[in-house]
Amino acid sequence: MIYKNIKNFPEDFLWGASTSAYQVEGAWNEDGKGLSVIDMLDHPEGTSDFKVASDHYHRYKEDVRLFSELGLKAYRFSIAWSRIIPNGVGEVNKKGIEFYSNLIDELNKYNIEPIVTMYHFDLPYELERKGGWSNREVIDDFVEYAKVLFDNFGHKVKYWLTINEQNTMILHPGAIGVPKGGKLPSKKELYQQNHHMLLAQAKVMDLCHKMCPNGKIGPALNITSMYGETCNPNDAIAAHNWETLRGWSFLDLAIYGRYNKLFWSYLEDRNLEPTVLEGDMEVMKLGNPDFVAMNYYSTVTIAESRGDASDVSARAGDQQIMLGEPGVYRAAENPYVSKTKYGWVVDPVGLRMTLRKVTERYNLPILITENGYGDNDILEENDTINDDDRIEFIKQHLEQLKLAICDGVEVIGYCPWSAIDVVSTHQGYGKRYGFIYVNRGEFDLMDLRRIKKKSFYWYQNIIKNNGNNI
Ligand code: BG6
């Protein structure tokens, strides 16, 4: 659709940026924090651990001041469950409450809206030892944890996100990693975990509405669109298979409280269906999110399955993420899109497409909680970082976002990944996403100095003009 008039971004648009606790904070064992599964990971060779990360725990005031200079209207961060409740259940760590309370106050001081993710991959290790999400008891542990968060921060936080990228944890657990000595759960077990997470999420959304009258809460999934490799109808069916199994199945449960029919048929056919206890589906319906939070990076192009092992391949340059499933789909190449140095497909139009589809299916406001460009940025002379590719990436996505707004999509904010450099989930510190550079190497922590990248000044200007200069 080509419009005669292009709409502006809404006046109260949340221009933001994102991070997550374990990727930015450091202080992994300080001030009473308990261990999380992340602290117990085996790291891929050549990549940093998360013990110091970007040292945000000690430098949050300086960081928030920089966020304010950048002009951020919102900052999306996560709370480390094991900093609040070291064993995942039971005693609350006062120092943990104090840290996040101070961080939120600091943000509010600069009129930066805090957007809080309650759980971003870092399950307390003590809960993992008891079976993690395979154990139904974790549902109530998550609800208890949420109660502590709403009690302490509910009066000063409006936007809440439940679980970050549940679909990544279930479909690509290798990307997050397994604690030392552990092994990846079977698919059957993963779908049982999925069921438990969804029940926990529904209960917590309900609790939020009861405890925080002004609060708004939503799920934060990684959502994208799939294209068929050709106009062969079998490619289209395969693309629809994976689009449903990867995205809609999760959102249908989070929003409508029901198992998507195609998803359930797949689970039943492969004997992967979870045990659903009496009353579970009533609980699932309690959810009622106020918005959809969506992480968007790339699209996937799909071909018909060949029905054998040749359907399965690693995503370009990344052995941790396997794509393809015999009888379901096979990943294919798309000649119309480009790729980052890390092999991630760059497809700004795919963002518009995905936003349209989410709106059509769920008719809820959308908050973009991640989108960004990973690169091995180089610190050049006079403390400059010329991250032109990142600028181009964000610019193109914002252009498409504007068109999606013309399409009628209600987007309430854009929080690219990441506000400041953080440790990548499994590709180390060399792969950076931030508007602010952190002066450290993969293993050499150097002085952890903060340096504004070229993209910092560029995004600052976009925010100043409310995106009207896009
Ligand atoms: C998202 C995650 O999937 O992608 C983030 O929510 C992550 O935690 C981001 O950092 C980028 O992925 P990666 O693997 O490059 O760090």
d(CA 409, CA 429): 35
pLDDT tens-place string over residues 139-169: 999 999 999 999 999 999 999 999 999 999 9
DSSP label at residue 29:
T
pLDDT tens-place string over residues 52-62: 999 999 999 99
Separation in Å, CA 79 to CA 59, 117, 118, 249, 453? 16, 6, 6, 26, 26
Residue nearest to atom 15 of ligand 1 (CA): 424
Average pLDDT value over all residues in the chain: 96
8 Å CB contact between 44 and 431: no
Examine the pLDDT at 316 and tell me if it is beyond 80. no
**Which residue, 226, 115, 119, is CA-closest to 169?**
119
Residue nearest to atom 8 of ligand 1 (CA): 425
Separation in Å, CA 194 to CA 81, 207, 265, 278? 19, 20, 16, 17
d(CA 239, CA 379): 41
Supply 25's token pair. 């904070």
Ligand 1 centre to CA of 283 (Å) is 30
Q: Which residues are catalytic?
A: 165, 370
Residue nearest to atom 7 of ligand 1 (CA): 425
Q: Which of 417, 420, 422, 433 to mutate to test the pocket of ligand 1 (most atoms within 8 A of CB)?
A: 417
Report residue 175's pLDDT band, with 50, 70 and 90 as the boundaries. confident
Report residue 177's pLDDT band, with 50, 70 and 90 as the boundaries. confident
Ligand 1 centre to CA of 424 (Å) is 6
pLDDT tens-place string over residues 340-370: 999 999 999 999 999 999 999 999 999 999 9
Supply 10's token pair. 């809404």
In the block, residue with structure tokens 């010329």: 386
Q: How many residues does the chain have?
A: 470
Q: Is 304 exposed, middle or buried (0-12, 13-18, 19+ CB in 10 A)?
A: buried
pLDDT tens-place string over residues 89-130: 999 999 999 999 999 999 999 999 999 999 999 999 999 999
Ligand 1 centre to CA of 213 (Å) is 32
E strand residue ranges, 316-408: 318-323, 330-332, 338-339, 345-346, 366-370
Examine the pLDDT at 176 and tell me if it is beyond 90. no
**Half-sphere exposure of residue 116: CA atoms within 13 angstroms, side-chain side:** 25
Examine the pLDDT at 376 and tell me if it is beyond 80. yes
User: What pLDDT, on a 0 to 100 scale, did the predictor assign at position 59?
Assistant: 98
User: What pLDDT, on a 0 to 100 scale, did the predictor assign at position 141?
Assistant: 98
Ligand 1 centre to CA of 371 (Å) is 9
User: What pLDDT, on a 0 to 100 scale, did the predictor assign at position 448?
Assistant: 98
8 Å CB contact between 292 and 364: yes
pLDDT tens-place string over residues 180-208: 888 889 999 999 999 999 999 999 999 99
d(CA 251, CA 273): 17
**Taking CB atoms and a 6 Å cutoff, what residues make up the pocket around ligand 1?**
20, 23, 164-165, 168, 222, 295, 370, 374, 417, 424-427, 431
pLDDT tens-place string over residues 281-306: 999 999 999 999 999 999 999 999 99
CB atoms within 10 A of CB 7: 13
User: What pLDDT, on a 0 to 100 scale, did the predictor assign at position 337?
Assistant: 97
Calculate mean pLDDT across residues 214-243.
98
Helix (H, G, I), strand (E, B) or coil at 450: strand
Report residue 321's pLDDT band, with 50, 70 and 90 as the boundaries. confident
pLDDT tens-place string over residues 65-76: 999 999 999 999
8 Å CB contact between 324 and 331: yes
% of the chain at pLDDT higher than 70: 100
pLDDT tens-place string over residues 393-415: 999 999 999 999 999 999 999 99
Atom index in ligand 1 nearest the CA of residue 344 equals 15
